[in-house]
Structure 1
Amino acid sequence: MKITPNQAAFNKPQTHMQKTAKEKEDTVKTNESIANKQVDQYIPSQQEKSVVYEKPMAKPDMPTIDRLKAESEKVHENLMNLVRQLLERQGINMEDAVSGKKEVVVDEQARLEAQTAIGEGGPLSPEKLSDSIVDFANAISGGDKSKFDLLKNAIEEGFNEAKKALGGELPEISQKTYDLVMEKLNKWKDEVSE
């Protein structure tokens, strides 16, 4: 029997010390490259305490806004129905009435219905309309009285636009509504917050 030695068994693996100079240089470059790369780190934030009181922002009162919008739409629809019925009784369509081609005569039935709508307790009375306008202003501001001037200016602008549309002057009932709105708005501003 003859034994032949296995050459692979005599080849020892190189250790770190036995590496060539080029391999050592490559290893050093790789290690330096890794060390120079920016690494993501978690740095917990620190909350800063405010030294002043910050009033929380007021949020609009959406349920009240939605209620007022629904009421307004109902009143508008009733008013439109009153006009439609008046025109139908006279055989006039809306286009002819708006264009002025045909004269519209307010009959007794329409006059009484309109009088009820704008009269005391009616949905278009100065008292009810002024309540709705001030309630809306309060709701849209979230009750934030610091917005008083902004709200007042917007309401004044709306009444001024109505004046322009009506030839420069408000009818007596609209002027009364405006006066009540300003009175109630000022009262709301001066109320002591609870």
Structure 2
Amino acid sequence: MNVNGISNQTSTYAAYKSTEQKAAATETEGKQTEVSAVYEPSAETEKTDTVTAKQKNEAIISRLKADAEARTQQLQQLVQQMISKQGNAYGQANDMWKFLASGNFTVDARTKAQAQADIAEDGYWGVKQTSERIFDFAKALSGGDMDKMKEMQAAFEKGFKQATKTWGKELPQISQDTRSAVNKLFEDFYAGDQKDTE
């Protein structure tokens, strides 16, 4: 047996094996580069933020409207109960407000307790919650724009004067306090906006 023949076959086999491994490595690299992802930046980020803010304001407005409608219905039911128990007709809204403003009525204990809870400091119709709802509604409608907020405050004052006229005399103290609280929220907003621009 010739030793040179064995050595020669070993080196030929090693060279073949080395070439085969290199070819397999190159093929694997090729497959890996085909699989890689390409980053494509999106131009819709800014648009999404604007849409989200708009949807948020619309959601607040819808929630406030639904809440106000439900509470108004509750108030009307309380008033209707008071009036019907005394045998007075529940007619047009102006008559109802004049009737209430006159103070010429009595209320059963359950209705009185509910009304007192509603207008308590932490009640739904209390100064704090009512003024915050009015301000939040104005801010949502205006989008927080300073000029629009001033228009909203003027509209609030106009509505307050109309309510006073409908009532037939000066509104109760709770209404006066609510008016002051709403105007303070507007003034705080303006002052905060001034600080932000400085």
| TM-score category, normalised to shorter length | 0.5 to 0.7
Gaps spanning 5+ residues in structure 1: where?
Answer: 1-55
Identity %, equivalent residues: 35
Q: How does 1:38-117 map to 2 (within 5 A)?
A: 61-90=57-86, 92-95=88-91, 98=96, 104-117=105-118
* Matches of 1:95 and 1:154, distance apart in 2: 28
Q: Displacement, 1:71? A: 1.0
Equivalent residues of 1:117, 1:123 under 8 A apart? yes
* Matches of 1:144 and 1:78, distance apart in 2: 33
- Which amino acid is 1:81 matched to? Q
* Matches of 2:83 and 2:115, distance apart in 1: 14
* Matches of 2:132 and 2:148, distance apart in 1: 18
Q: How does 1:128-167 map to 2 (within 5 A)?
A: 128-167=129-168
* Matches of 1:126 and 1:88, distance apart in 2: 28
Larger helix share, 1 or 2: 2
Q: Which has the higher contact order (CA 8 A, sep 6+)?
A: 1
* Matches of 1:164 and 1:84, distance apart in 2: 22
Q: Displacement, 1:152? A: 1.4
* Matches of 2:124 and 2:54, distance apart in 1: 28
Provide the TM-score with structure 1 as the length reference: 0.60
* Matches of 1:167 and 1:90, distance apart in 2: 22
Matching residue of 1:20: none
Equivalent residues of 2:134, 2:182 under 8 A apart? yes
* Matches of 1:92 and 1:190, distance apart in 2: 49
Q: CA deviation digits over 1:101-147, x for unaligned, max 9?
A: xx742222222111111112111111111001100110000111232
Q: Displacement, 1:167? A: 2.5
Equivalent residues of 2:124, 2:130 under 8 A apart? yes
Equivalent residues of 1:65, 1:136 under 8 A apart? yes
Over the aligned positions, Cα root-mean-square deviation in angstroms equals: 2.9
Q: Kindly tell me the number of residue pairs found equivalent between the two proteins.
A: 136
* Matches of 2:76 and 2:60, distance apart in 1: 24
Equivalent residues of 1:59, 1:141 under 8 A apart? no
